[in-house]
Amino acid sequence: MLSERPEAGPTTALMRKAYARWAPVYDIVYDKLTEPAARAAVDAATASGPRILEAGVGTGLSLGYYPSGSFVCGVDLSEDMLKRARAKVRRRRLSHVRGLQVMDVCRLGYADESFDAVVAQFLITLVPDPEAALSEFLRVVRPGGAIVLANHFGQTDGPVARVEEIVAPICTKIGWSSAFKSTRIEAWARRNGVEFVGVAPTFPGGFFKILRMRKPA
Ligand SMILES: C[S@@+](CC[C@H](N)C(=O)[O-])C[C@H]1O[C@@H](n2cnc3c(N)ncnc32)[C@H](O)[C@@H]1O
């Protein structure tokens, strides 16, 4: 199922450097904060079937939320993050995790239609070409399968949008950009004939959202 595909570039190197620094403290900062969104994303993905790709799996915070009987592959650019995910899999005996590979989500080394669902949590706004990543997700998911994103997306209008504009510089520093709106994903779905199922708010206070799409059957 896997094949070698080249990936490189200055953004990739910068991302790896950033997550080499984040890796030792990532779980302490994000585990409890992202747990409700991660659980909701896992539930949405596994509703489509057991074969799941976790794109940008990081330290594997969500791997323990998958039911036994699922088959989960995880990919990430950062070997430092993946090392921690592999340690979790060993420590918690997560036998449903079938592989954790260094890979760029814009160049997935999987055959077409390999998965029932692709999940990307707190990833899509970090990718320089998110549409390229989404097109890869669409390629590797089976017809009728799901693409599920968990993320913070900025509000398009209203009072919350104005507050986000004010706090944007601080949010960007800690990795949460409000500049990226879910309407960008919706536009990509429309252009590619993908069903945009919807966006659901989740903890904390709707700041994180679960966005669901379906590949036409
Ligand atoms: C904010 S962390 C989220 C990790 C995990 N999904 C979670 O929810 O805890 C973002 C992860 O995406 C990875 N990443 C960023 N760009 C990527 C790319 N183009 N391909 C694969 N992984 C990428 C980073 O290395 C990092 O581990």
pLDDT at site 160: 60
Long-range contacts, 200-206 (Cβ 8 Å, 24+): 200/40, 202/36, 202/37, 202/40, 202/150, 203/35, 203/36, 203/37, 204/33
Tokens linked to 3: 């094949």
Backbone angles phi, psi at 92, to 5 degrees: -95, 5
Q: Is 22 in the pocket of ligand 1 (CB under 6 A)?
A: no
pLDDT of residue 6: 47
Do β-strands 141-151 and 71-76 pair in parallel, antiparallel, or remain unpaired? unpaired
CB of 178 shorter than 6 A to ligand 1: no
Ligand 1 centroid–CA 10 distance in Å is 16
Angle between helix 130-140 and helix 182-191 axes, rounded to 10 deg: 50
Residues in the chain with pLDDT values less than 70: 1-9, 157-176
Task: Give all strands of the β-sheet with 195-202 in edge-to-edge order.
Answer: 97-102, 71-76, 51-55, 115-121, 141-151, 208-214, 195-202
Query: For position 1, what pLDDT does the model report?
Result: 43
Interval between CA 45 and ligand 1 midpoint (Å)? 18
Domains of the chain, CATH where assigned? 12-153+180-214 (3.40.50.150)
Ligand 1 pocket check for 127: Cβ under 6 Å: yes
Greatest alpha-carbon pair distance for the chain in Å reads: 48
Which of 135, 82, 101 is CA-nearest to residue 1?
101
From the CB of 37, is ligand 1 less than 6 Å away? no
Distances (CA, A) of 91 to 84, 88, 168: 10, 5, 38
